[in-house]
Structure formats: structure tokens, C-alpha cells
Amino acid sequence: MSINGRSFRNALGRFATGVCVITRSTADGRNVGMTANSFASVSLDPPLVLWSIQNSSDLFADYTAAGRFAINVLALEQAHMSHTYARKGDHLLDPEHCKPGRHGTPLIRNALASFECDLFATHPGGDHTIIVGKVRDLDHRPTGKPLLFSAGAYGELH
């Protein structure tokens, strides 16, 4: 059976997720962020997480290079950051949105959780590449609602 692209997207959209901004300091010194909802936990020992990036992304080389990145889980009131860092050509981090992490990675201020990772592995995944990170440090706050994403729209937990 051949899979219709529209149906595939619509069916995938029924899986509700949180929303993250993946942050990184690039080799040429830019602080960048990209909105992603492909985040998943992988392993507890060692502590591994993953997300996937479109191979066609302008930031592909930056995010697949060896080094550190951070996965920041957005709170409900941070939906504007999800919009901002999903815009093509607009990935430079607003200094007001971030703070320095303990290991040199920019982190999103007031995120529900931030995972500072070393690039552990990349795996081919069709038109995306799976990026596996080894968590070096983390930070989380116990209060605050997560920003949800489902069927192409943002939502909240009730």
C-alpha cells in the first residue's frame, strides 16, 4: 500500500506532543534555536535522548556537528518562542529568551526543563536525521503547564 502524504501527516498529528526549542552555540559563534516536537527519551543508563532534523534545514550542518546542544521544553506561556524559532531564516536566539548553561550552551530562560547534551550519534532517517544526545546536565521546574501541540495546533492541559 502506498502511503498518502497528507493522510500520513494528519495521522501523525493525532499524536499529541510537547514543544521544544533546541539551542546551540555554533562553531562560528552564533547562538541559534529551532522549534522541534520530535524529542523523545531513549535510555536511562547512559542517559540518552533524541530528536530529528530535516536534512534540508539551513541549520543541518550546525546541529549535526560534534559538540553540545540543549533541548528546552517550552511552557504554555512560551508559545511565541515556538513561532519565532520555527521561522525559516530566523533562528538567532533573542538574548532576552536565553541564559548561559553550565556547559556553555545557551538555554531557554524559564523552560519547564532543559537538557544539555553532547552529540552522541546521528542516524539516517529518510528525509530527516536522528540526533542522539548524551545528557550532561539538566534543569527543570516542578510548576508550570507544558505547551502542547496536536493536529497542527497549540493547546494546554486541563
Contact footprint for ligand FMN (CB under 6 A): 19, 34-38, 51-54, 57-59, 82, 86, 88, 91, 149
Nearer to ligand FMN, 10 or 102 (CB): 10
Q: How far is the CB of 1 from ligand FMN (least distance, A)?
A: 26
Nearer to ligand FMN, 130 or 138 (CB): 130
Say which residues have a Cβ less than 8 Å from residue 48's Cβ, sequence separation at least 6. Answer: 41, 42, 120, 132, 133, 134, 135
Q: How far is the CB of 22 from ligand FMN (least distance, A)?
A: 8
Q: Which residue has the cell 530566523?
A: 90
Residue by residue, what is the 3-state secondary structure of 25-72?
ECCCCCEEEEEECCCEEEECCCCEEEEEEECCCCCHHHHHCCCEEEEE
Q: How far is the CB of 29 from ligand FMN (least distance, A)?
A: 19
Nearer to ligand FMN, 124 or 142 (CB): 124
